[in-house]
Structure 1
Amino acid sequence: MAAVIGALLPERAIVVDEALTSGVGLMELTSGAPLHDWLSLTGGAIGDGLPMALGAAVACPDRPVIGIQADGSAMYTISALWSYAREQLDITTIVCDNGSYAILQHELERVGAASDGQRAGQLLDLGGPGLDFVALATGMGVPATRATTAEELADQLRRALAAPGPHLIDAVLRR
């Protein structure tokens, strides 16, 4: 995912990074891309990626915004997609879909609480029912696709960046 984004990042893009645990390599693999700005979490909270991308697109309507968004934290502020569609903002969101609140799992492990039983583990799993980000985005007026390979992601990202308005790509990542 990081290599695809680095290869296709347009000049003057604003990258909003809330990839969290899925963001390994993003900084390194986008460092050679055309000049761009990078916005990310300041630490301690999750869920600000979608509204941060909204703010960036409103502040700089002449620049493409690419949001790289973890699936669990997207659910905190998923309603931002409706505003993307309503305002026809040039935001391409890539959802890092690993089916879990992986960042919270890591934090539990760091404090030694990861083995507190089956119920605790279920609270960090986004399955049962699984989230359908394509349906969620489409239901709020944002065109959406699903990528399960790097090639699909590259093709879908090229198309999204070439068309005006909001787009969402559900990048299904291996667990």
Structure 2
Amino acid sequence: MSTLTHLDDTGAAYMVDVSDKTVTTRVARAEAYITMQAETLSMITEGRHKKGDVFATARIAGIMAAKKCPELIPLCHTLLLTSVKVNLTAEPDKSRVRIDTMCKLDAKTGVEMEALTAASVAALTLYDMCKAVDKGMVIESIRLLEKEGGRTGHWKAE
């Protein structure tokens, strides 16, 4: 098992020095789900929500969150993202929304945290916009789906 990269020999947290690493194209994909009442999902997909286009707002929030990742998560490097995509897909048969994110750049460190943050904040925004009609929504299964690039190469969730 590998050691934790953000702790020194004494257990103190530190930001990993990536200055000797090679710049490579790095891509990460993440997902999250938010389950809700069927009527809440219908309200969103049919455009009947009083606050407007819920998916568009959640998409923008996810993109903004990816760009703000080092301000939200300690020890994350500031990155110059070249692409951030946030897709929201209604799954009426399961009464939920799937959020799929992708972050990309050419850098010395990966973008997994940015993709995960985008998925999380998009889900939180969807919850915030709909909580007045459905406080029982559940955000779940936030996870990394895939990462490419860097020394460790390609990894994909099962």
TM-score (norm 2): 0.33
Q: Which has the higher contact order (CA 8 A, sep 6+)?
A: 2
Which structure is larger by alpha-carbon Rg, 1 or 2?
Answer: 2
TM-score (norm 1): 0.31
More strand by share: 2
